[in-house]
Structure 1
Amino acid sequence: MENEFLTIDDVAQNLRVTRQTVSRYIKDKELNAVKISKSYRISTDDFKDFLNKNATVDEPSVSYLRRTKNCSLDYRDKADEFEILFSYVNGDFSPIERNHNQEENRYIFGDNYFVLKKLLDTHKGKIDLVYIDPPFGTGSDFNSINDETVYSDKIVDSEFLEFLRKRLFLLRELLSGEGSIYLHIDKKIGHYVKIIMDEVFGYRNFINDITRIKCNPKNFARNAYGNYSDMILYYAKNRDRQIWHNIREPMNEEKREELFPKKHPKYGYYTTHPIHAPGKTIDGDTGMEWKGLYPPKGRHWRYSREVLTDLDNRGLIEWSETGNPRKIVLASEHKGFKVQDVWEFKDKGLSYVDYPTQKNENLLERIILNSSNESSIVLECFCGSGSTLKSAFRLNRKFIGIDNSAHSLDVVRKTFKRDNVECNFYQYISKD
């Protein structure tokens, strides 16, 4: 951004004001400008200073970083990346309860900003997967089934965005070169968070904006469409190297009945496909006679005659009453469906969960299976109920969880003991 200049039109477009308004800012010396030839130019540094002086806490503004092609949110008290990454924290992890002798599989009680900075000493570049479900900036409290306030969501707007941005920079440094992050967020603020994610991870490393259906359709009386979904932003540390297992969605019974309606006495449910395909071959095996038949005009056998004979001998060619052969395709050989970017994983009611913001464990398992290996470390720094850690443990991954809620600590200790999840518990202690 150094030595780069904006025109009055550039500034007006960024601020969504008229050229006359920008000229007035310059005349009133609210915005520094220099005259180059016959036109005023504003340096990007001066423009950023202007934004910092005039942005409000509640309304972050968007500017375009032309050199990186990324967008950036500008708001008051936005910290410098260098300051976030290299400021020193003086603290350590003190054991609360040890249940195994492994280095990983740990829950750390404390402010996740300080915990993440401390983890950089030992885990920089070692985390393969981050899933986070941060507070959504709604200004609400979340209560347990007995109405105890267990999770407070009071930071809002740009204060929330900067709170999250600082932690995202630290998480980026903890991610391995093959790592990825899934950030679960409410749509009210999610599109601002997308710009923060582009700034931290780079727009090129954006993979998906996943829509998660969280509940049944609503019928509120307000003048708007029903809100029954939230979003998961998925980024890679390096999209060319990320761990990706392409776990497919299994076929359910309804889909099986639609796609494989017939039943074979030996092979089970099936459907049939033509054994010929478009295109004519010249002097090729797939254009020659098989079982007294030739391919239809302008087509060729999809398989060699040897393969067709083998399929027929194994009972995998179905002959119609008119003598038309078709290949039998078995439901048992179906590899499942490519997972799309709309997921239906509904939250359970409060009476069925251990923690008020607890997420569906099938959703967590899909993410963990797709984006980590059995040797991977999975990290969740807004740990809540510990569902992410529990899912990672069941799938033979290592985990690190962080939360500063005493209720979270109590719930995780209780449920992990109940479910035989091996975990050591620590507290971050500041030495300042």
Structure 2
Amino acid sequence: MDLRAKLTILADAAKYDASCSSSGSRRKGDRNGLGNSEGIGICHSYTPDGRCVSLLKILFTNHCIYDCQYCINRVSSDTPRARFVPSEVVALTLDFYRRNYIEGLFLSSGVIRSADYTMEQMAEVARSLREDHGFRGYIHLKAVPGASPELIERAGLHADRLSANLELPTQPDLDRLAPDKQIVTVEQTMRHIHARREQAEEERRGSQRAPTFVPAGQTTQLIVGATASPDAAYLAAADRLYKNHGLRRVYYSAYSPIPRPDARLPAKSPPLWREHRLYQADWLMRHYGFSASELTTPDAPDLPLDHDPKLAWALRHRALFPLDLNTAAREALLRVPGLGVHSVDRILAARRVRPLRVDDLARLGASVRKVRPFVTALGPNPEAHTLDRVDLQARLVPARQLDLFAAPTPRVVTPDPAASRLLVPVPDALPGALPTAGPALGRLT
């Protein structure tokens, strides 16, 4: 099979892996090497200044000895197969980079022969790029669960990021659909990466000449909707991984039906809104001080689709509101719907100068419509005493969003040709906005 045919098969097979991450590495270029991963995001990610950057995203091979029923590359699948050798991946990466098509490499793989053999092949790709060709661009490798610590060490010394995919949130889920995988094995690999990374950071504090180890950290992926596990199980798994293994990100990927699926798999994908709500809840855990157990309840283990998880939490805890904008602690303000991290920091800075009114929130970047029922401030705010009104949710959730869930069939919108000629500024993404592509990063306030 020629290289072009291999690339066609293995690039297409890589599209199911969502754990391609933005940068976090600081691998500066030099005059003796190729590339620079300083200050850029990778894998069609957007940098703060609006640049979109990309990487070569491929599988080393789609041959696999495992029979994970949700995976198109499982051993029992009849999908066309292909396999690179390390020198071919190196040549492709350098050729694409020199043509200015990419700024890095994301390399995953099916498991061939054994976890050690597969990890050795991918580690050799990274080693050759770094040592033989002086490549200084971004490299993200898949860490194969169960591979020996020595091979993980070899890969981590050359890669910017590693990711060992958990795929499903509980062991019974894996037993049902991926009997060759064990959560304990995946987490052992994560634990080794985390411990070795902390060791490398400690060595770097003593000497800047000490080698780095996975400077951009590690990530993982969870497939949403392939089993009946509720959102609470996904959030509990993510919370555990963040706390125990220092993961940089958990990626949630809605299950996508594959050709000739097993009868144990659902017939269709879950709503994309479910994936989006999990990303929002994940953001609350990482940046707003929420725990996984707070975002769902035993009676409602799934996140609501018609409004964001922060608003859902506030509606369940109305007794805690309203909060006084001029006296409430930062941790309490972060739990007010409509207030984001930057808005809260601006409130704390502004109230040192003078007492705040509710109307000041608009100038501080907050959503006044969402915040008003949950706060008090200097001057009257009648809406602060309407928290028990039955129409509160309807007033806080945009009508167009409620219509989306109430409509029995999808609505067809006919574009207005005149509208395309209007130059209307595009506002920031709303908390409830559905992502159009890629992992949902929906800003949640």
TM-score, structure 1 normalization:
0.29
The structure carrying a bigger strand percent of its residues is 1
The normalised TM-score by structure 2 is 0.28
